[in-house]
Amino acid sequence: MSTQYLTVSALTKYIKRKFDADPYLERVYLTGEVSNYRRRPNHQYFSIKDDHAVISAVMYRHEFNRLKFQLQDGMKILLIGRVSVYEPGGNYNIVIEHMEPDGIGALFQAYTELKEKLTKEGLFSLPKKPLPRYPKKIAIVTSPSGAVIRDIMTTIKRRYPIVQLELYPTVVQGKESAESIVKNLKKIKKAGDYDLAIIGRGGGSIEDLWSFNEEAVIRQIIDMDIPIISSVGHETDTTLSDLAADVRAATPTAAAELSVPVLAEVLQEIKMREQRLYQTMRSKLALRQEMLNRFMRSYVFRQPNRLYEGHLVRLDQYTSRLQNNVMQTVQSANHRQHQLALRLQNTNPINQIKVLKRDWHQLDEDLHQSMQRYIDSQQQSLHHMMESLDLLSPLKIMARGYSYVTVNDTILTSTDEVEVGQAVSIYLENGQLEAQITAKKEKNDGRNERN
């Protein structure tokens, strides 16, 4: 019987099938320490280890985004997952479905991290909006059933029954609670006719109160235009909504007491202010009446002409002073006019025009003579330069019997530059000759001639 060999792929598939079919590996509860963790944009890959072993781990993006805490390298965790085999690499790993820190609750960890994040942004240190002293309309964000709404309404109606209350039925616990709170807060802001809002619910565990620790709820509270009173849980419970709100109340009843005054006290205060106002006005009227009687007894009302005596005297003085000033001004103007007339007569423009006209004729004549002399000088200089240029002209020299010889458009200056039989061109004054060299003779110096 021949032996049958398996391929690596076939063996790996067999092992993976064994892992997938094993009920003990289908749901594994594991504790360990996170190792080799580095945040990736999609799925997360890292290791889980203890003192004696290491296992590869993968957590897909959907499950990872639901974590309530910030995963860190070296953190001890509790996880739930399933063991699987990665066929291309031939290694096994654990696929994590749920994870939370070991030794501290996931919700408390998330609470601490979100509180630290929002504190760094400065959201909890923003200026708080003051509560209105006499609100007319209050919005209440809470569950329509339960003791919270009853306590708030009973307390407010007992203390300040003239205020208008409007309940926004809200889910305050569970998955839909955060969305419900944010939705109703946005409705209140859009309405724009409320003086303040109360957010409340009864006590409970951190899980029950968690919707009031959601980031969306916190940011919506900060974004509100009206003051917010937060009354969530018992006095010992502190949610992030309490920190974000303008006022925190220990109980719903305390929130109602903070939101409105006591009408009886307000009416009593109004009555007291009314009495003080009445007494003040009465005192002022008495004072004004006394002043009026004193004025009526004064000489101004008994002899009103005396009021204007001083003004009439000053009016006469001002009239006399004005007349003198007008006369002085007229005299000064007449004198100045006489002086200007004399100056105008002495500076008659007709005489100046005659002098300027004479000067202009003289300048015109001088200019004409100067231009004529300049033209004669330039013509004489031009004639002289033309004569000099004519003396230097090569044509003038050639007229005396001179010529020049070229070979290939090059002027000959020596017999060494031409060969016997070579064609040359001879240029005379009145034309050009073409010739051929038949012989060359060197120029003899004086000693040869004597020999």
Residue 144 to residues 140, 169, 175, 213, 221, Cα–Cα distance (Å): 10, 5, 18, 21, 20
Q: pLDDT band for 328, please (50, 70, 90 cuts).
A: very high
Residue 135 shares a structural domain with residue 256: yes
Q: Read off the CATH number of the domain in which 176 is found.
A: 3.40.50.261
Pairing of strands 28-35, 76-86: antiparallel
CA pair distance 296, 304, nearest whole angstrom: 11
Whether 397 maps to a domain, the answer reads no
CA pair distance 139, 186, nearest whole angstrom: 12
> Are 17 and 28 contacting, i.e. CB atoms less than 8 angstroms apart?
no
Whether 49 maps to a domain, the answer reads yes
H helical segments located in 204-262: 215-223, 240-244, 252-259
pLDDT one-digit tens code per residue, 33-89: 888 888 898 899 999 988 888 899 999 999 998 887 788 877 888 899 999 888 888
> Are 315 and 309 contacting, i.e. CB atoms less than 8 angstroms apart?
no
The total domain count for the chain is: 3
Residue ending a domain, among 261, 287, 316, is: 261
Residue 145 shares a structural domain with residue 38: no
Alpha carbons within 13 A on the beta-carbon side of 163: 31
Residue 89 shares a structural domain with residue 140: no
196: β partners: 138
> Are 94 and 82 contacting, i.e. CB atoms less than 8 angstroms apart?
yes
pLDDT of the residue at 449 = 41
Q: pLDDT band for 300, please (50, 70, 90 cuts).
A: low
Residue 136 shares a structural domain with residue 252: yes
Residue 272 to residues 46, 132, 286, 353, Cα–Cα distance (Å): 74, 21, 21, 99
* pLDDT of residue 388 exceeding 70: yes
Q: pLDDT band for 103, please (50, 70, 90 cuts).
A: low
* pLDDT of residue 448 exceeding 50: no
H helical segments located in 245-348: 252-259, 263-296, 299-302, 306-346
Q: Report, as an integer, the average pLDDT of 430-445.
A: 81
* pLDDT of residue 210 exceeding 60: yes
Q: Which residue has the tokens 């003779």?
A: 441
CA pair distance 146, 200, nearest whole angstrom: 11
Residue 17 shares a structural domain with residue 71: yes
Q: Report, as an integer, the average pLDDT of 178-204.
A: 92
Question: From edge to edge, which strands make up the β-sheet containing 164-169?
Answer: 164-169, 137-142, 196-201, 228-232, 247-248
Residue 28 shares a structural domain with residue 150: no
Whether 116 maps to a domain, the answer reads no
> Are 99 and 75 contacting, i.e. CB atoms less than 8 angstroms apart?
no
Residue 59 shares a structural domain with residue 165: no
Residue ending a domain, among 240, 261, 282, is: 261
Q: What is the mean pLDDT of the chain?
A: 86
Residue ending a domain, among 261, 277, 307, is: 261
Domain limits for position 413: 403-436
Residue 25 shares a structural domain with residue 80: yes
Element (H, E) at 12: helix 8-21
CB within 8 A of 3, min separation 6: which ones?
Answer: none
Whether 336 maps to a domain, the answer reads no
Residue 2 to residues 5, 14, Cα–Cα distance (Å): 10, 21
- Give helix 215-223 / helix 177-191 axis angle, nearest 10°: 10
pLDDT of the residue at 13 = 85
Whether 109 maps to a domain, the answer reads no
Q: Report, as an integer, the average pLDDT of 203-221.
A: 86
pLDDT of the residue at 244 = 93
404: β partners: 427
Whether 349 maps to a domain, the answer reads no
Higher pLDDT, 103 or 75: 75
CB within 8 A of 99, min separation 6: which ones?
Answer: 59, 67, 71, 77, 78, 79, 80
Whether 201 maps to a domain, the answer reads yes
Residue 149 shares a structural domain with residue 254: yes
pTM for the predicted model, two decimal places: 0.47
Residue 71 shares a structural domain with residue 138: no
Structure tokens that stand for 423 in this block: 């064609």
Structure tokens that stand for 10 in this block: 């076939």
Q: Read off the CATH number of the domain in which 36 is found.
A: 2.40.50.140
Residue 327 to residues 135, 235, 319, 324, 333, Cα–Cα distance (Å): 76, 95, 13, 5, 10
Give the alpha-carbon dihedral of 392, 394, 397, 402, to 10 degrees.
160
Quick check: helix, strand or coil at residue 431? strand
Distance of CA 6 to the CA centre of its chain: 68
pLDDT of the residue at 171 = 92
The alpha carbon dihedral of 308, 311, 316, 319 has a sign of: negative
Residue 233 shares a structural domain with residue 195: yes
pLDDT of the residue at 126 = 93
Whether 422 maps to a domain, the answer reads yes
CA pair distance 134, 389, nearest whole angstrom: 117
Residue 93 shares a structural domain with residue 143: no
